[in-house]
Structure 1
Amino acid sequence: MRDLYQSSPHPTLFGGDFNEILSADEKVGGALRDQRDMDAFREVLYVCSLRDLGYDGSWVTWERGNKQQGVVRERVDRYVACSRWCSWFDQARVFNLTKFRSDHVGIMLDTEAGVRKKREKQKRRFHFETCWLLAEGIEDVIKTTWSNSSHLNMPNKLLNIANDLTRWSKDAFENLGGKIEEAEEALKEAQKKASFQASFDACHKLEGLLDDLHDKNEAYWFLRSKVSEIKDGDRNAKYFHHKAAQRRSKNFI
């Protein structure tokens, strides 16, 4: 790490599992960490002028054990950066995500968190989902809304159809995205309180629920992609390549 930093003329960022903690308060349970190892880690950060970028969410990034007795928790995953990098990306924030299917917590660095928060306040545009065509009832929704909007002009008719389709899709597709967000928030809260056996049991139950919701969501997106493939063939190739290029160009880690 020291060699990489000293050999690079560019602003530097390191992130991931360092397999070490900065101080004893970043660990709960298990054997005590060797003080010399923690001192050596801090010394490297000091010599390289790297600072911990902190986090939003639970402090725990690694956990082992399924019961209250014998559980070990540590903060071994983090992002550290030099002052030049921090001045370039002054809106950056680190988010500790929800732990499930792994003993590590995913950590996400958003270099435009401050700007993104402002964008989220804007109203989302309506997008017609191709996979809706496979669901029963969509034609009835469109016909009924069109009939009930006969006294309106074309823009307002289309607006009513968009609103009704949005409401219908939430019921037809069970609002999987919202349910996943709710389950993740509940799991985060349970993980913060996981000092009692009841909390551990709640964590495992919520992890199972998340597994099920993600499986359903993956099936939904697979269906969505297959419908586009079947109905539109290669006509969408250029569009999807363009979207992929757009995503790669975004400054989002």
Structure 2
Amino acid sequence: MALSFLPALALALCFGPPQPVQIAGYSGHAMEPFISRDGETLFFNNRNGPSDQTDMFWASRIDDTHFRYRGPVAGANSAELDGVPSLARDGTFAYISPRIANGRAAAIWTGHWAGAAVDSPVLNHALTPGRWPLFNMDAEISADGRRLYIADTRWAAPIPRASDLRLAVRTRDGWRRAREFDFWFASINTSRALEYAPATSSNELELYFTRLTPHFLAPPALEIMVATRADVTSAFGVPARIAAIIGFVEGPSVAPDGALYLHAKIDEMHVLMHAARTC
């Protein structure tokens, strides 16, 4: 499906109510979905609570809302938290697994997806935003494998104090933070809310993300947002909330036909959902 340019306010109305995704052979919590750019493989992690052993898993497609569980993501899971998987068309696999050393928290790993496992994962120390409690909470690799859309986050409990979207680019010497592209996100990042869990369409003209707005003495508001742009050199415009996606919802991922996968918390269980695109 060729996706035509739509302003964010119009695109935000192009999604139907989310429907549950069934993963045959898997029955645990499921979060942070990523659907491969060919639509055939679904990656996700289990719950990422403080007492959980958080790992990544993968499943193969039966149809849009049914997948067959294939197992853990071998080669990438560790005794630490491992999650937020994403995959480029060239096989570059990116994920989050924080390590703290010398007061700095590096979190973004990249390796090569070999069809059933990740080969030679490397921790990218150059991408850390600064000294702890600053760290990268999320990252998604672009379809062509040349850019990482990342969340720079300041840790605090029970929820982070701040989180904004940034860009990293791939060079001959590895990955580097690309602050020259901060203007792309000028209409997206806010001082009051947290912006995280970025997800891009394959042409990078559509950017989806989660926005969490804290409220005093009340639960925070969670929204799935979308911003668009007319070409890949321009900044993203003012984002709009996707009206059909409500509740405890996070972590969008864009399917080849423009539909969204995400996770929701329903009756204390984290489940994957699919929101079909209608225009």
- Please give the range of the TM-score, normalised by the shorter of the 2 chains: under 0.3
In terms of fraction of residues, the more helix-rich structure is 1
Question: Greater strand percent: which structure?
Answer: 2
Whichever of the two has the greater Rg, that structure is 1
